Amino acid sequence: MKSKILLISLFATSLALPTVGQFRLASHSLDQPIIAYQTAPDSVAYPPLFSSPDSAYLTRFREMFGLANVVASENTDLGRARAMCRWVYFRLEHDGRQTFKSTDAFDILHAAQAGESVQCVEYGLVLATALNAVGIRARPLYLKAANVQTKASAAGHALAEAWLPDQGKWVMVDAQADIIPMLGPTPLNALELQQALQAGRPELTVLSSTRAGARSYFRWVKQYLYYFDTVLDNRYGISKSSTGLMLVPSGAHKPTIFQRTTRIRNMRYTSSAATFYASPVANERIAQSGFGESQVH
């Protein structure tokens, strides 16, 4: 059976991933670039791992920073994600020229309290930790431009994606900008945002607790919506695997270098949107059964 392909043009009119056959946009012009992803899942699973919010690390994080109070008034998963996004936004100061050695959220926040600035990477790491601490599975997400290997700087952006059970989907959350992208009332993941931007969907907007500008943000972030990667082991307070998973357009080069000099290590590659955006609940069952273990460790 032929692989199912999602074809995306600059004038796409639908966000829905097809479930059968091949999806090609009728309005596509031959002189416009196409970004295509498989919609059938890979034959090999890449199950993510998450810590329980009751683990010692996440419990300490939640209690030290009073996160239960931050989300106490929210009655939806989207509301809780927005509240945590705002909380991180106001606790960190961005400076793209600074580098921070630790990936630990406690270290990042303590440094911020001492007046240190951080990059987008640290916003994503703290937000993912905070969301997991309040019971929302989350992962850091790294966006990369098509020319990630040859561009000397500013070739990527980092944020987080959260699995919202009441939405039944992954949702992109950018704490540096205090933004969750929306298509009307529906929150979007990074791939859906890519599609909507290329389609020029007029109902694109943002959910924000501040006066974040949707148009300026979308103009800026669009350049990074080509490659998407994340880590598979999202556990805290333990020694864990650094294996990542990258979503690559069908037929595109699989990058192994970031910004000319930094080698991308321990990466698995997929062109399947279904694999990259699979439910962590279903994948968690696979991880517990041991299937796909060699792909994670």
What is the model's pLDDT at position 283? 62
What is the model's pLDDT at position 284? 61
pLDDT tens readout for residues 106-131: 999 999 999 999 999 999 999 999 99
Tokens for 266? 């321990």
Burial (CB count <10 Å: 0-12, 13-18, 19+), residue 272? buried
CA–CA gap between residue 250 and residue 103 (Å, rounded): 31
Query: Where are the domains positioned within the chain?
Result: 5-295
- DSSP character for 23? B
User: From the CA atom positions of the chain, what is the Rg in Å?
Assistant: 19
Question: Measured between alpha carbons, how far apart are the two ends of the chain, in Å?
Answer: 31
pLDDT tens readout for residues 41-56: 999 989 999 999 999 9
Tokens for 57? 């690390």
pLDDT tens readout for residues 215-229: 999 999 999 999 999
* Angle 287-290-295 from CA coordinates, rounded to 5°: 75
| CB contact set of 176 (below 8 Å; sequence gap of 6+) | 89, 92, 94, 120, 123, 159
CA–CA gap between residue 82 and residue 162 (Å, rounded): 11
Q: What mean pLDDT do residues 203-224 have?
A: 95
Residue 237, SS3? Answer: coil
